[in-house]
Amino acid sequence: MTIDPLHEDRVLILDFGSQYTQLIARRVRESHVYCEIHPFNLSLEKIRAFGPKGILLSGGPAGVYDLNAPFSDPGLFGLGIPVLGICYGMQLMARQLGGAVERADRREYGHALVEVQDPEKLFRDIEPEGVRVWMSHGDRILELPPGFRVLASSSNSPIAAMADPESRFYGVQFHPEVVHTPCGKTLLENFLYGICRCRPTWTMKSFVESVTRSLVEKIGSDHVICALSGGVDSSVVAVLLHNAIGSQLRCVFVDNGVLRKGEAESVRRVFRDHFEMNLTYLDAGHLFLDRLRGVTDPEAKRKIIGNLFIELFEKEARRLPPAKYLAQGTLYPDVIESVSFKGPSATIKTHHNVGGLPDRMDLELIEPLRELFKDEVRLVGRELGLPERIILRHPFPGPGLAIRILGEVTSEKLEILREADHIILEEMELAQWNDRVWQAFGVLLPVRSVGVMGDERTYEQALVLRAVESVDAMTADWAKLPYDLLQRISNRIINEVKGINRVVYDISSKPPSTIEWE
């Protein structure tokens, strides 16, 4: 098969169910080497077809002697391809190549120190004594497979790293992909560059050039329709396509009435005026509010907004020049989830997107970002010249402010929340905290409390301030915002937003809480 030069130097990650598997991929990508995650039981035929220069075996929650423990085809060790096993991946390598694994007397979780006895190629440029790493295991290697030697050890793991340099097989008991292993980047790059001989060809500049060529070739003279929300994913998709096919792209922006302050005007200004795109703007806020009248159940809100969006999008699409393709901002984590070792996740809640439209509208999908993680999408946005306010825009749910208003959604409540939300983001930006958190927003509660303003007693609503730090939104912790910033936000909201007399700060993590309240 013909491989794009951008992907010639590629590595394969086999997923054994580790919570860190996506992090391994991100670290590899950050080293400018293309990689993909596939299930642990990927066939040898598909591995050969992928053509990797190296294979990484992820960690996982199982033990190699557990009933139904995940095993890859042992034939992968006969392909002549370098392999790096991480945690469970190392234990699996040891067992499949003739070594022995045992349940450790003492499990090893968290920070640990390892001593490097043999730097070989894997530990090149890493100080040998007292190397700080992150452990997470209950088993350990008891006996090395034939041909292997010990590279490093810890007080609890006599074999914390091993290698068969002749076969180019390596294993580490710790997790080099996490930030708690400071030397992890160097170790991974030693494997990628020094052992696999990969070149750092994966850059967002080269990605833009490559994907633009492929879009031009695939689309030809046909037309594409794109649902533009103003978020970073759909914005990057729109600009990529606009640069590739120009007037053959038609973007549709549906103002559902539950957007942030000034968001609709900003989208029109950036994409219609600055990028000179064919942009259809639908002012449909009154329709959404009519459908939401009296609705308090959060899932019902989501379905109403999602179904009406599809209804309006379909109607508008029929008025436009016939299109062959529908563009979507599918990202690589969505692709991974569909083939994950763990299987598709249970639905916690539904956010509307344009899923389902291709079948109903007889359109083929165009997903130019399906190889990228979120941080890579932001880098692409910069390559394309998107404004920073779009690139760094906090994630915003499809149902918008409707699920940040607990209870019935009304125009009055929307106006209150819009103003409060605007103050939150403005103060976060002034304090240079906007880029340090994953999301920051307000939630309007259906709760009234007593307050005093001047000489008058008030009985108004309470607002929750929510700010979280996260990498991928799978887990999140509440942001430790400075007290003076919290004070400014609270004072401004109470003084400037009529209808709110109390601001509280949410200090819940995910799990057990979700980031959004509904």
Cα–Cα dist 497/418, whole Å:
10
Whole-Å CA distances, 149 to 103, 128, 161, 339, 501 = 21, 16, 9, 35, 67
3-state SS, one letter per residue, for 485-506: HHHHHHHHHHHHCCCEEEEEEC
State yes or no: cis peptide before 511, omega within 30 of 0.
yes
Q: Which of 35, 36, 38, 87 is catalytic?
A: 87
| Tokens found for residue 142 | 């008891």
Who contacts 243 (Cβ-Cβ below 8 Å, separation ≥6)? 212, 384
Closest CA to 444 of 496, 397, 395, 501: 501
Please indicate whether residue 30 is annotated as part of the active site. no
Q: Which of 32, 175, 242, 352 is catalytic?
A: 175
Q: Which of 36, 108, 177, 516 is catalytic?
A: 177
Please indicate whether residue 175 is annotated as part of the active site. yes
| φ, ψ of residue 390 in degrees (nearest 5) | -85, -45
Work out the angle between the directed axes of helices 374-383 and 232-245 (0-180°, nearest 10).
40
Cα–Cα dist 360/375, whole Å:
32
Who contacts 479 (Cβ-Cβ below 8 Å, separation ≥6)? 433, 436, 437, 440, 467, 468, 469
Cα–Cα dist 93/54, whole Å:
15
For the CA atoms of 99, 104, 109, 114, what is the dihedral angle to 10 degrees? -60
Please indicate whether residue 177 is annotated as part of the active site. yes
| Tokens found for residue 502 | 């109390």
Local structure of 465: helix, strand or coil: strand
Other beta carbons within 10 Å of 282: 16
Catalytic residue IDs? 87, 175, 177
